Each structure stands twice: as C-alpha cells, then as structure tokens.
Amino acid sequence: MTEGHRVPVAVIGSGNIGTDLMIKVMRKSKHLSMGAMVGIDPDSDGLARARRLGVPATSEGVEGLVKLPNFRDIRIAFDATSAGAHAHHNAVLQKYGVQVIDLTPAAIGPYVIPVVNLEEHLDSPNINMVTCGGQATIPMVYAVSRMAKVHYAEIVASIASKSAGPGTRANIDEFTETTSRAIVKLGGAARGKAIIILNPAEPPLIMRDTVYCLAEQGADEAAIRKSIDEMVAQVASYVPGYRLKQRVQFEKLPADRPMNIPGIGKRHGLKVVVFLEVEGAGHYLPNYAGNLDIMTSAALATAEQLVVSKFALAA
C-alpha cells in the first residue's frame, strides 16, 4: 500500500448507525475513504449530511450504488440496514467482488469480534459483526473461557430506548438468537443466552451490560481477572468508552448447592460476573448510545485490518 492511499468504501443505510459510521470513516480512519452513502429515503439526514460533506450519495438502495460512476473503485461495503434486507444486498455486492461487512443480525457470513477471531476470517467475502450486545459481552465470555471451561454464559444488554431505532426494534428476535449462538461459537461457552432490555429512563442511560459465566470448579480467579482486564483494554483500543463498571465478582458454588441451568441441569463451579459500561464517542450519536457506537467502532476496526491484510498488495 502506497503512503497516503485509502480504500474507498460504501455505507448502506443512511440511518443513525450508517451516518455515525460515515463520520467515523471520515474522521478516524487511517486506510479508508468514503466512496458512497446509500439509502432509500431521499429525505434522510444521513444522505443530506453525506452530500454536504461531498460524499457521493444515492437514495435508490444497492441498485443505485451499482449505478454510481465511482462504484468500480469501492472495495468494501458496510451494511447498516436490517437482517431482512441484507441477503439481497449481499447477493448484489458479491457479483462485483465487494467485501461485505454486515452490521445486521443476518449472519450470512461468519461471526466476527475483532479482538477474538478476526484473523481467522480475513478471507471471508462476508463478515458478520454479530450484535451490539455481542460485541460488548462476548470478549468477556472469551476472556473467561480461555482460562477455564465455561458451562454456561448469559448476557444482559441494557440500552437506552431512545438509542433503539426501527432497525433495532425490528430485529429483537434476531438479536437474541444471533448473540446466543455467538456466545457459544466465539465465546467458548457450552451454552449461551442473551437478553436485551430497552430502558425508557429519562435522561437516557449509557449502555450497560452484565455477563454471567459459570466456570468449572477450581478455576483460577486471579487468572480470570487478569484475562478480563487485558481483554477490556484490547476492546477499549477501538471503543474508548468501553470499561468495567466495577470489580469482577466471583462466587463459588459447591456441589451441594449447585445452580440449576434451564436446558442443562444442575451445575456447580465458579460463578463469574462482569459489569460493563459502554459510552459512545459522540461523533454523530449521543454519548449514551454506546450500543450503536460499539457496532460502528468494531466494523471500522475490522475494515481497517482487512485493508492492511487483504488489500495491501492490490492497493
């Protein structure tokens, strides 16, 4: 890659997530440039903002993107629409060899958490960013499971109701299903469960996440705490507002006082509880919308690594 060269990208979806991602690309990216903003509402703020910033924009969806004069230069497309729309977008983009980063719960491509498994999927034409809750909590489950066997992991993501737009609300079922599967597949738990809470409090509260893990008996608490602290620092390197809300909690559950886990049965061991807070950077979205900020930040970090690893020679 030559000095100063940037790879043009498209953002599909001119709502809150897509607009925030566009601004992050323009303000923070080392290797990307905005090639196009794509929407279906000609009056959306995202498209209007893109045009004011000099970004090519279309309100004709992915078909309009293909018609843009600079489409042939676009190497990566972020899809920030909905799980239902993503299948069509992906089918169109794959015909042209465009790398797709999916911010919906569609999960056509492999689940990716940048600090957990991005290196394994650099050659995948479609990468799925799981969910906001997944990006925030699965690194913690993984941090525990790399130190000890995890029988069960449950995450509770609490987000401000005001930060949940139409896309988020339409994909609640997909959120819980996708996140639960990813807790097992990426986090390393034998069984996983995900819960999302839309909190209507005023003023809106910053995103909070609670992670419960039941690890094997005799697991090393100090090693687990150290693993979690290291993982928090890694996530915070691309999501500055990501932090532990309080010290990691441990509780030993002896064999004569086991925990009854639905679908698994009674298990004893070490209960690990992690309390997280995710504050947004405030680029386009309010600071309380950490749930959206962590998705756009993770997607940006993924694209940056793809450019360095996958497109370096071609660029």
**Domain segments of the chain as ranges:** 7-129+294-310, 132-287
Structurally, at CATH architecture level, domain 132-287 sits in: 2-Layer Sandwich (3.30)
Instruction: Please give the single-letter amino acid code of residue 108.
Output: I
Q: Which of 132, 138, 207, 307 is catalytic?
A: 132
Burial category of 27 from C-beta neighbours within 10 Å (exposed 0-12, middle 13-18, buried 19 and up): exposed
Length in residues, the chain: 315
pLDDT of residue 313: 42
Q: How far apart are CA 20 and CA 27, in angstroms?
A: 10
pLDDT of residue 314: 46
pLDDT of residue 4: 54
Q: What is the DSSP string of the chain?
A: --TT--EEEEEE--SHHHHHHHHHHHHH-SSEEEEEEE-S-TT-HHHHHHHHTT--EESSHHHHHHHSTTGGG--EEEE-S-HHHHHHHHHHHHHTT-EEEE-STT-SS-B--HHHHGGGGTT-SEEE---HHHHHHHHHHHHHHTTS-EEEEEEEEEEEGGG--HHHHHTHHHHHHHHHHHHHHTT-BSSEEEEEEEE--SSPPPEEEEEEEEEPTT--HHHHHHHHHHHHHHHHTT-TTEEESSPPEEEEE-TTS-EEETTTEEE-EEEEEEEEEE----SSS-TT-HHHHHHHHHHHHHHHHHHHHHSTTT-
pLDDT of residue 262: 79
pLDDT of residue 229: 98
CB 239, CB 293: distance < 8 Å: yes
pLDDT of residue 192: 96
CB 99, CB 76: distance < 8 Å: yes
Residue pointed to by tokens 């697991």: 219
pLDDT of residue 83: 87
Residues of the chain with pLDDT under 70: 1-4, 311-315
CB 279, CB 269: distance < 8 Å: no
Told to judge if 132 belongs to the known catalytic residues of this protein, a careful annotator would answer yes
- CA dihedral (103, 109, 110, 112) in degrees, to 10, reads -20
Q: Does the N-terminal peptide bond of residue 69 adopt cis geometry, omega within 30 degrees of 0? A: no
What is the CATH topology of the domain spanning 7-129+294-310?
Answer: Rossmann fold (3.40.50)
pLDDT of residue 17: 93
